[in-house]
């Protein structure tokens, strides 16, 4: 069997959810499991977090599947619904939805009488993706309150800069102004705001990336924040080669050995989800030593520098990211974020559940 696998650590997931809960004590925490739980497998993550207060996704099919599996908690669609037929599905499966546009309110008018659908009415407080403008918020809320299709109402907004220097205060002020006088429950915080801004915790928080042990901040790793990595993408060295001075490796000969150099070929490539644009120098753990990739990442393989790992041979374990090689470091080297790397793990990578320990 090809040696690549992604191990998912259930205890780490529970630990990280607990960290979110402790930071936002008193608030409910919706586990954000969109995008197949950031690449970790939604069914698997829901099983690990069976006691979560609720789940948030963007895919209706994923929400239905969670409900069919038997989870009774709140399940929220973070982008809401797109077409009227989805509303009857939402009602049947008791799914809650973000309502961010007058078009959606209009769609709700066409729904036949029946039990109300729980909604989260979204304010655009400055991110300028989804949500009602501050000047429209009161009118939107009046229409939602008057709609017979609506069950409970929560107010929601999303931060654009909770992870950087600009922070949340400017958006928080807009939200508080728009929501002034409303006694409805509120949901504002993503992982970065949960970790950094207690004034945003309100009634419901929405931890995503932190559940998976990855830091939302560029300047730290999950471990710095008390989080544990959940996914370890690992493979093995499947060939070892001694390059003579001047010899190049891989497509385009993008890396040339200046002096004699031992390199290892690892069974992991971009078809496994490893970023092709990761340059020479991207950190990789070989055995128990951190070394670096060399040359271009190809579809099924990549190559690593073994000069600092003399004991490495065919069969030596390689951690592409995860325990011992933080995904944040790999992402930084590749010019991206841990979110994108984890979401991109390909279906051909075997997932292994580590349930104890
Ligand atoms: C994805 C998402 C989150 C979670 O964000 P993280 O940065 O992963 O914690 C929270 N709220 C909304 C609306 C989202 O789309």
Give distance in angstroms: CA of 357 to centre of ligand 1: 28
Contacts of 241 (CB under 8 A, 6+ apart): 249, 262, 263, 264, 265
Cα–Cα distance measured from residue 232 to residue 357, given in angstroms and rounded to the nearest whole number: 14
Q: Is the pLDDT of residue 357 over 80?
A: no
Give distance in angstroms: CA of 350 to centre of ligand 1: 26
The residue ranking higher by pLDDT, 177 or 357, is 177
Q: What is the pLDDT of residue 26?
A: 95
Angle at CA of residue 309, ends 304 and 312, nearest 5°:
80
Give distance in angstroms: CA of 73 to centre of ligand 1: 18
Reported as a single tens digit per residue, the pLDDT across 206-260 is: 999 999 999 999 999 999 999 999 999 999 999 999 999 999 999 999 999 999 9
Cα–Cα distance measured from residue 226 to residue 328, given in angstroms and rounded to the nearest whole number: 14
* Atom number of ligand 1 nearest to Cα 191: 9
Among 34, 55, 71, 255, the active-site one is 34
Banded pLDDT at 203 (limits 50, 70, 90): very high
Long-range contacts, 65-72 (Cβ 8 Å, 24+): 66/33, 66/42, 67/93, 67/94, 67/95, 68/93, 69/43, 71/46
How deeply is 60 buried, as exposed, middle or buried, from its count of CB atoms within 10 A (0-12, 13-18, 19+)?
A: buried
SS3 290: strand
80 lines ligand 1 (CB under 6 A): no
* Atom number of ligand 1 nearest to Cα 32: 4
Q: Are the CB atoms for 283 and 329 separated by under 8 Å?
A: yes
* Atom number of ligand 1 nearest to Cα 78: 13
Instruction: Please give the C-alpha separations between residue 207 and each of 1, 33, 57, 301, in angstroms, as whole numbers.
Output: 36, 9, 12, 34
* Atom number of ligand 1 nearest to Cα 158: 13
215 lines ligand 1 (CB under 6 A): no
Query: What number is the average pLDDT over the span 112-126?
Result: 97
Query: What number is the average pLDDT over the span 123-135?
Result: 98
Q: Is the pLDDT of residue 344 over 70?
A: yes
191 lines ligand 1 (CB under 6 A): yes
Q: Is 228 a residue of the active site?
A: no
Q: What is the pLDDT of residue 356?
A: 80
Query: What number is the average pLDDT over the span 133-151?
Result: 97
Q: What is the pLDDT of residue 175?
A: 98
100 lines ligand 1 (CB under 6 A): no
Q: Percent of the chain scored above 70 by pLDDT?
A: 100
Q: Identify the residue whose C-alpha is closest to ligand 1 atom 15.
A: 78
Cα–Cα distance measured from residue 184 to residue 207, given in angstroms and rounded to the nearest whole number: 21
Angle at CA of residue 143, ends 138 and 145, nearest 5°:
90
Query: What is the pTM for the complete model shown?
Result: 0.97
Q: Is 34 a residue of the active site?
A: yes
Domains, in order of start, for the chain: 10-218 (3.20.20.10), 231-354 (2.40.37.10)
Work out the mean pLDDT of the chain and round it to a whole number.
97
Reported as a single tens digit per residue, the pLDDT across 250-261 is: 999 999 999 999
How deeply is 332 buried, as exposed, middle or buried, from its count of CB atoms within 10 A (0-12, 13-18, 19+)?
A: middle
Instruction: Please give the C-alpha separations between residue 42 and each of 39, 64, 77, 107, in angstroms, as whole numbers.
Output: 8, 12, 14, 29
Q: Is the pLDDT of residue 137 over 70?
A: yes
Query: What number is the average pLDDT over the span 168-174?
Result: 98
């Amino acid at each position: 069997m090809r040696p690549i696998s992604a191990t998912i650590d259930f205890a780490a997931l529970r630990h990280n959810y607990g960290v979110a809960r402790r930071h936002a004590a008193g608030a409910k925490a919706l586990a954000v499991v969109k995008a197949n739980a950031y690449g970790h497998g939604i069914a698997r993550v829901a099983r690990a977090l069976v006691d979560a207060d609720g789940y948030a996704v963007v895919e209706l099919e994923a929400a239905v599947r969670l409900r069919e599996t038997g989870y009774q908690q709140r399940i929220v669609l973070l982008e809401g619904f797109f077409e009227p037929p989805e509303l009857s599905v939402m009602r049947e499966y008791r799914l809650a939805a973000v309502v961010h546009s007058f078009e959606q309110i209009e769609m709700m008018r066409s729904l036949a009488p029946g039990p109300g659908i729980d909604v989260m009415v979204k304010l655009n407080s400055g991110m300028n993706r989804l949500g009602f403008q501050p000047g429209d918020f009161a009118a939107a809320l009046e229409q939602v309150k008057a709609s017979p299709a609506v069950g409970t109402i929560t107010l929601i907004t999303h931060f654009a800069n909770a992870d950087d220097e600009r922070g949340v205060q400017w958006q928080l002020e807009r939200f508080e102004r728009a929501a002034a006088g409303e006694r409805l429950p509120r949901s504002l915080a993503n992982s970065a705001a949960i970790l950094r801004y207690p004034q945003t915790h309100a009634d419901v928080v929405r931890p995503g990336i932190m559940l998976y042990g990855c830091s939302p901040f560029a300047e730290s790793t999950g471990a710095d924040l008390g989080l544990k990595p959940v996914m370890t993408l690992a493979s093995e060295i499947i060939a070892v080669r001694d390059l003579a001075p001047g010899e190049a490796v891989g497509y385009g000969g993008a890396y040339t050995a200046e002096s004699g150099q031992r390199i290892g070929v690892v069974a992991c490539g971009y078809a496994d989800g490893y970023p092709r644009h990761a340059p020479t120098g991207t950190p990789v753990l070989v055995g128990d030593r951190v070394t670096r990739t060399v040359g271009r990442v190809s579809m099924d393989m990549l190559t690593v520098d073994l000069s600092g790992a003399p004991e490495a041979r065919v069969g030596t374990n390689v951690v592409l990211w995860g325990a011992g090689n933080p995904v944040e470091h790999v992402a930084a080297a590749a010019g991206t974020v841990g979110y994108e790397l984890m979401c991109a793990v390909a279906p051909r990578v075997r997932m292994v559940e580590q349930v104890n320990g």
